[in-house]
Amino acid sequence: MTHQAGSTAVPAATLPALIVLGLDDGGKAHASWFGEAEVGMAEKAAGMMGMAALPVADADDLHELAGRLPQGRVFESGRAFVPFVKRALYDAIATHLPPGYQFPVRAADDRPTPKPRKKASAADASESGPKRPEPHRPTDWDKIEVGSLVLATTGAYEGWYEATVTKISAEGVYTLRWRDWLEEPAFTRKLVHIALLHPDHRD
């Protein structure tokens, strides 16, 4: 007689059922996994965002790769939060896409397309006022202020990317927005989870 009193089953909702992956306009890799209950919504979100939706089969080594990804989530807007991942991990997952796979065309958002600007002359520059100032790059943590450009990450094993400080609470919680991904929601970090750029760094 086999004794199984101590065994516990892992809820299916907590297991990866789908991986959403793709590259952003800057060529940086994004990927995350979604549970069975979110498969339909995540697939629709992937299409909107121009990303691939890759089912995770029980007997597939995608399970091991999915276990190294952050868990994604779907917003009420229909888009999904698909964090940054290391390019090597992204490339390993992308090999499971069908040969010749074409990523879906990203859905156009409702923001107006900016009109192309003509090259400004010296006279135009003098009339249009001073140039937009460089973002503040603090050289020490006690110099971080609203508007400062700092570095943040989505996880211990993920990359660090530029983010702008938009609010600092009295409790020492910093509200940030990704500099290059403005469509992503604002997020918060404690000071110990923020890094500084080198003062001479320029894009």
pLDDT at position 126: 46
- One digit per residue, the tens of pLDDT, for the chain of length 203 reads 444 444 444 445 578 999 999 998 778 899 999 999 999 999 999 998 899 999 998 657 888 999 999 888 887 777 788 888 899 999 999 999 999 899 988 766 534 444 444 444 544 444 445 555 677 889 898 999 999 999 988 766 556 788 999 999 999 999 999 887 777 789 999 999 999 988 776 65
| 89/159 Cα distance (integer angstroms) | 12
Is the whole model's pTM more than 0.85, yes or no?
A: no
Helices (H), the chain: 39-49, 62-66, 87-94, 122-128
pLDDT at position 111: 40
pLDDT at position 24: 84
pLDDT at position 13: 53
Q: Which domains does the chain have, with CATH numbers?
A: 14-94 (no CATH), 141-193 (2.30.30.140)
C-alpha gyration radius of the chain: 21
pLDDT at position 49: 87
pLDDT at position 124: 46
- Residue 74 corresponds to which tokens in the numbers above? 């779907």
Say which residues have a Cβ less than 8 Å from residue 63's Cβ, sequence separation at least 6: 16, 56
